[in-house]
């Protein structure tokens, strides 16, 4: 924003009654305003590399001067807009500042939304990995459970049968064979 405004020739024109001088001063005023527009458009006010906005506000400190430029110098107004220079009087300046403030807030909000969306995408990625690993763990637990049940039921039954056979054989060996027809020496 630039607040130095060249209105001296317009002031002189308002103070004189001489028609030719007045017309000349109006032309000088228009020339001064054009020069100011060119000056502010070539400065580093607009510098996207340094995160500036893409326009500059040229503040016209008097609402009557602002209205005069708007009404009598429409070609100057058009040239200013083409150079990304926005002329603002005291009343419009407040509206422009509010608009810029709202745009800034919206930009910050959008930037935060992008960050939040990024976090959500990362959460989704992590959740997918978690789900995959959790499912894998579930499959491993199921395999372990099936193996446990097989060992607990089938293997335990098979071992129990062998143990029973051993007990039967063992108990048969412990009994004396009284009526052994093959070996009469055993009593």
Q: Tens-digit pLDDT profile for the chain (187 aa)?
A: 555 778 788 889 889 899 999 899 989 999 999 998 888 887 677 777 777 777 888 888 888 888 888 888 888 888 999 998 888 888 888 888 888 889 888 888 888 888 888 888 998 999 999 999 999 999 999 999 998 888 888 888 888 888 888 888 877 766 655 555 555 554 4
Residue ranges per structural domain of the chain: 8-88, 106-172
Question: What is the rounded distance in angstroms from the CA atom of residue 33 to the CA atom of residue 3?
Answer: 12
Question: What is the rounded distance in angstroms from the CA atom of residue 141 to the CA atom of residue 147?
Answer: 10
Give the three-state DSSP class for 57: strand
- Give the Å distances, CA to CA, from 58 to 44, 55, 85, 176, 184: 14, 10, 7, 124, 134
Query: Cβ(107)–Cβ(51) under 8 Å?
Result: no
Query: Cβ(29)–Cβ(7) under 8 Å?
Result: yes
């Amino acid at each position: 924003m630039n607040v130095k405004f060249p209105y001296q020739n317009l002031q002189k024109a308002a103070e004189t009654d001489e028609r030719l001088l007045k017309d000349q001063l109006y032309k000088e005023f228009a020339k001064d305003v054009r020069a100011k527009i060119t000056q502010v458009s070539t400065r580093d006010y607009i510098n996207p590399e340094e995160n500036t906005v893409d326009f500059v506000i040229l503040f016209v400190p008097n609402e009557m001067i602002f209205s005069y430029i708007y009404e009598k110098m429409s070609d100057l107004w058009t040239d200013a807009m083409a150079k990304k220079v926005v002329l603002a009087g005291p009343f419009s300046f407040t509206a422009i500042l509010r608009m810029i403030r709202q745009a800034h807030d919206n930009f910050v909000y959008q930037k935060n939304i992008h960050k939040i969306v990024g976090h959500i995408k990362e959460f989704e990625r992590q959740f997918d990995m978690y789900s995959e690993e959790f499912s894998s763990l579930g499959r491993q637990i199921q395999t372990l459970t099936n193996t446990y049940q097989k060992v607990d039921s089938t293997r335990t039954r098979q071992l129990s049968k062998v143990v029973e056979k051993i007990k039967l054989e063992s108990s048969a060996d412990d009994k004396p064979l009284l009526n052994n027809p093959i070996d009469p020496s055993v009593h």
